[in-house]
Amino acid sequence: MNKPPAGNGTLVSNGAAPSLRAQRLDPIESLPPAPPLSLEEMREEVERALAEVEFPAPEGAERLAEAARYALLGGGKRVRPILVMAAAQAFGVPVGEVLPTACAIELIHTNSLIVDDLPAMEDDIAILAGCALLSEAQRLILADQPGSPHLRNRLLQAVLEATGTAGMVGGQFLDVTKYRPRDRDDLERLQMLKTGTLLVASVRCGTLIATDRTDPAFDSFAASLGSLFQVVDDILDETGKARWLGKIPGSDRLAGRMTHVTMFGLRQARETAKGLHERSLESLAEIDARVPGSTQPLREIADLVYRRKQ
């Protein structure tokens, strides 16, 4: 994935959750549009790139590398790396230019799945495989991502802010300790931390690589998508079938977790999902008017998230 460096920029955090202070320049300066890839073509590119990720291991530790690769290549929709690619493509950037960062974010997401699946913190191999995924994710950004050292540092900071105690890890902690949100705003905060922050970081990394800055319309789209993803999850936990949920339907309710369904009812949760989907499309309409490339893959992702089996 090694490519020549290009680009720089500045990252500013607001503290509570991963946040890049957006700077709007209108019209957006960008490269001439590259030939666009479809959603499926992007997924194929991600799968090829992930298959090339290596986990060098000393003699005797080969099983650790195998465990990390097994977790990474075990399948999945690859939504997060595709978001990086689709955001960059909207500015005309070839998706190959963002693959190292896209893959890094998928490695981090895979680690979160390992943590979620642990029945207890006793599975040493799984924990070490997760550590290997986190380490390789950082190396991919710092060593393989095209761009100046300043840009690579910005990307790494954006990803780490999204995944640390002020982001995904903090959200996972609140979830596993059965934190009970006080109201709708508190529930949305918890769910954004656990699920939304990494989705937002994915889109932001794509815009950073493409333009050296973030954009409020892309941020708005990503935030709506992150919230939509979790609300639909809440709905599916109540209405889905065990064979494609991968868990017992109603498990959140049985575990005493507070969700949009358990707090406000199924009908209201569906109305919330509908509103978030519409809001994400409104952001894309604003983006369409200002970028040279295609936003169709972003639109398809929003539609797919919303239309999962409800």
> Is residue 21, in this structure, part of any structural domain at all?
no
Q: Is the CB of residue 168 less than 8 Å from the CB of residue 112? A: yes
pTM of the model: 0.85
Counted domains in the chain: 1
> Is residue 4, in this structure, part of any structural domain at all?
no
Please classify residue 30 by burial: count the beta carbons closer than 10 Å to its beta carbon, then call 0-12 exposed, 13-18 middle and 19+ buried.
Answer: middle
Q: Which residues of the chain have pLDDT under 70?
A: 1-34, 118-122, 241-251, 253-256, 309-310
The predicted-structure confidence for 191-216, as pLDDT tens digits, reads as follows 999 999 999 999 999 999 999 999 99
Q: Is the CB of residue 195 less than 8 Å from the CB of residue 272? A: no
Mean pLDDT over each residue of the chain, to the nearest integer: 85
The predicted-structure confidence for 291-301, as pLDDT tens digits, reads as follows 999 899 999 99
> Is residue 13, in this structure, part of any structural domain at all?
no
d(CA 94, CA 72) in angstroms, rounded, equals 24
> Is residue 255, in this structure, part of any structural domain at all?
yes
> Is residue 248, in this structure, part of any structural domain at all?
yes
Q: Which residue has the tokens 């493409």?
A: 210
Q: Which residue has the tokens 């949760």?
A: 269
CATH number at residue 284: 1.10.600.10
> Is residue 204, in this structure, part of any structural domain at all?
yes
Q: In sequence order, which residues have a C-beta less than 8 Å from that of residue 182 and are 6 or more positions away? A: none
> Is residue 266, in this structure, part of any structural domain at all?
yes
> Is residue 186, in this structure, part of any structural domain at all?
yes
Residue range of the domain that includes 114: 39-306
